[in-house]
Structure 1
Amino acid sequence: MEVFYPLSAQEKNDTTTKMAAPMSNVDEIRNRVILGEFGVKNVHTTDYPGNYPGYDDTWDLEKFKKTFRIDIVHSDEDTLEFDMIGIDASIANAFRRILLAEVPTMAIEKVFIYNNTSIIQDEILAHRLGLVPIKADPRLFEYRNPVYSGDIKWLPIGNQADVFADAKIGPVHGDILLAQLRPGQELDVVMHCVKGIGKDHAKFSPVATASYRLLPEITLLQTIEGEQAERLKRCFSPGVIEIQNVNGRKVAKVVNSRLDTCSREVLRHDDLKNLVKLGRVRDHFIFSVESTGILPPDVLVTEAINVLISKCQKFLTELDMAEMD
């Protein structure tokens, strides 16, 4: 897997210029989704991802290795934006679903309320506590297993303080409101955390959001200048279209189509809609991952990849067993 880090402003402009180059009808059908005034063109649904009727799209591993790459656009403590290029929508959606529902985290499962004199009912309080993100690395814990009488063992609780001395286990945020207490009211609660995944309960989901979209592509079919250029700029999100001075004329140029929200506002203007082609690159996915704070977003993506790998390995094992039978 190749990983590339953020492009410079010049490199982004060069990429936009290259993408605006004309392509054959065959390439457009297979590689672009075209946004029309009243619909979307070049959308195909087949039983095999990446395969389109009438074309030889046999999957090739070597070709995939050459075309597949990941570009990291932005990364900080809580969010990660990256491009995944050269894959089918089914694979992109698999990553999204795994991030939402199958990357394990730690969350409060059992709440033992010994005293609650606040106005918050016990059930509501327990529910709130369960949704508090817990900053504990789930990779250091095991899933719950069925317990039998033979499994009863003595474990010194004090040892846990040594094992997890550097883990800093506790809520991700210390200012999440659980209950308002009036004078004389109190809460006496003991909570047990367990390891789980989002498809069991939303409280285990490690991401606030995990989404993707296709890379927008805007092609100007002819030179647009003057008042038309100004109107064209206003039809798109800020930063998509810029006005440049060319020999004393105001000429519109696509600067960064990535920022476009694909609102299709330009198609409302009769004198502009035939001068612009709106599309999306079919195999270029822009991912946005926002962590709840339990784990950094880059770790979450890595864990999602590991989950997908384990799924593939399990599937291959099942195939081998089926052949043996």
Structure 2
Amino acid sequence: MAEGSGSLYDPRRHVRILSERVRDVSSVDYPGHFPGEDHSWDLAKFTENFHLEVQRLSQRSVEFDLVGVDASIANAFRRIMIAEVPTVAIESVYAWDNTSIIVDEVLSQRIGLIPIHVDPRRIDVKSEGDESTDRNTLVFNLDVRCSRNTKAKRGATADSELYINHEVLSSHLQWVPQGEQAEVFEADPPRATNPNIVLAKLRPGQAVKMELHAVRGVGKDHAKFSPVATASYRLLPLVVLNPDKPVPKESAEKFAACFAPGVIHVDKRSGKVRVEEKNLRKDTVSREVLRHPEFEGCVELKRIRDFFLFHVESESAYPPEDLLPEAIQILRGKIAAIRQATEALLDEDQTMDSQDAMQTD
């Protein structure tokens, strides 16, 4: 592949991986700008170098490539997905009865961490001091009592056979509609995202009875509001072979074994090695190849500084493919707020300059 602004082999896009350290980590003062060159922002050029591609999508996770942006932008998306995309979680717990071995405070913390399946856009934010209404609060009941199973078979030893309701599960949360909520959430009633979370274990005679109030919040206020289990990225690995110093044929298999399977292909006839570019993302950049003196100078390990491999796991009502668009909307809102504040400052400065000019006259 020829070197160029859009090529993986463009040196400006590389972070060098050495045996003991990493080089060329920092970007320039203004990302994408270099001294003595015209780098005026151009939409067509940006569109040519930028792309986003989903590599894998499941019910709860997504892997996608984000290419052509600075690390500050990619990290902003990651941080917003973790801390600023709103969700709904249980905030207040009113314990009427709890004879389990777990004290009220600990059980309340467990309950608060249950991901709630409800579209947060249908719930208003409840600020401090606001009263609870059907617009800003969801109410759940938790009422579980354990008893012996009189129909258990003789000799049974499993708890599930001996007892009824021997576990308090997230599926025991029962939504109690308030006001107009029955109509608003008729198509998709609020519930626990995962119905099989064990909150406590009970024995005959023990019971848990609580009223739970859920509100809308964001992860920077409390981790229970974070919509993701993980949101991370890594840079695309790059393996560059030195054409002037090829890998010794007798050590080709050993060389390939230094990388993740599929990254290096060894020709059985000639013993030559080549890099499988389509499998580069599989490599973990373990630096194992740099430990062997016979491979010194044969290969360079690098990462592409603007090629981000994202992995996001959703633990909320959001489908995983919706988390990045939500983060983009929030970032756009931040930019709009900064722009508005800047324009207000400029208007204020212009007004003051006009007043000063009139006083001078």
1:170 counterpart residue number: 191
Which amino acid is 2:191 matched to?
G
- Looking at structure 2, the residues matched to 214 and 181 of structure 1 have their Cα atoms a distance apart, in angstroms, of 48
User: What residue in structure 2 maps to residue 305 of structure 1?
Assistant: 328
For 1:92 and 1:212, locate their aligned partners in 2 and report how far apart those are by CA, in whole Å: 8
Residue 251 of structure 1, CA deviation: 2.4
Amino acid at match of 2:39: T
The SS at the match of 2:267 is: strand
Shift of 1:87: 0.4
- Please state if 1:97 is matched with 2:79: yes
TM-score, normalised to structure 1, is 0.85
CA distances 1:122-170 after superposition (whole Å, capped 9, x unpaired): 0000000000111111111111135579x999x9935322220111311
Moved over 4 A (4+): 21-24, 146-149
**1:287 to 2:310 alignment:** yes
Unaligned runs of 5+ in 1: 1-17
Residue in 1 aligned with 2:217?
196
Deviation at 1:284, TM superposition (A): 0.9
The 5 Å alignment of 1:1-325 reads 18=1, 21=2, 28-52=10-34, 54=35, 56=37, 58-62=39-43, 63-145=45-127, 157=178, 159-222=180-243, 223-224=246-247, 226-245=249-268, 248-255=269-276, 256-325=279-348
In 2, Cα distance between the equivalents of 1:124 and 1:147?
25
Larger radius of gyration: 2
Q: Structure 1: how far apart are the matches of 2:20 and 2:237?
A: 18
1:225–1:249 CA contact under 8 A, matched in 2 = no
Distance change >3 Å, CA 34–CA 55, structure 1 → 2: farther
What is the aligned-residue RMSD (CA, Å)?
Answer: 2.4
SS of equivalent residue, structure 2 residue 39: coil
- What SS does structure 2 have at the residue aligned with 1:72? strand
Per the alignment, residue 6 of structure 1 pairs with none
Structure 2 unmatched runs, 5+: 138-176, 349-361
Return closer, same or farther for 1:200/1:71 CA change in 2, 3 Å cut-off. Answer: same
Q: Is the 8 A contact 1:111 1:189 kept in 2?
A: yes
Could you report, residue by residue, the CA deviation over 1:200-251 in whole angstroms, capped at 9, with x for unpaired residues? 0000000011011111111111343533111111111122112223xx2232
Q: Number of residues paired by the alignment?
A: 299
Which amino acid is the alignment partner of residue 300 of structure 2?
Answer: K
Secondary structure, counterpart of 1:298 in structure 2: helix
Return closer, same or farther for 1:152/1:185 CA change in 2, 3 Å cut-off.
closer
Residues of 1 paired with 2:36 and 2:207: CA distance? 70
Shift of 1:67: 1.4
Separation (CA, whole Å) in 2 of partners of 1:310 and 1:152: 27
Bigger drift between 191-200 and 236-245 goes to 236-245
Q: Share of identical aligned residues, percent?
A: 43
CA contact (8 A) 1:49 1:90 kept: no
Amino acid at match of 1:321: A
Secondary structure of the residue aligned to 1:179 is strand
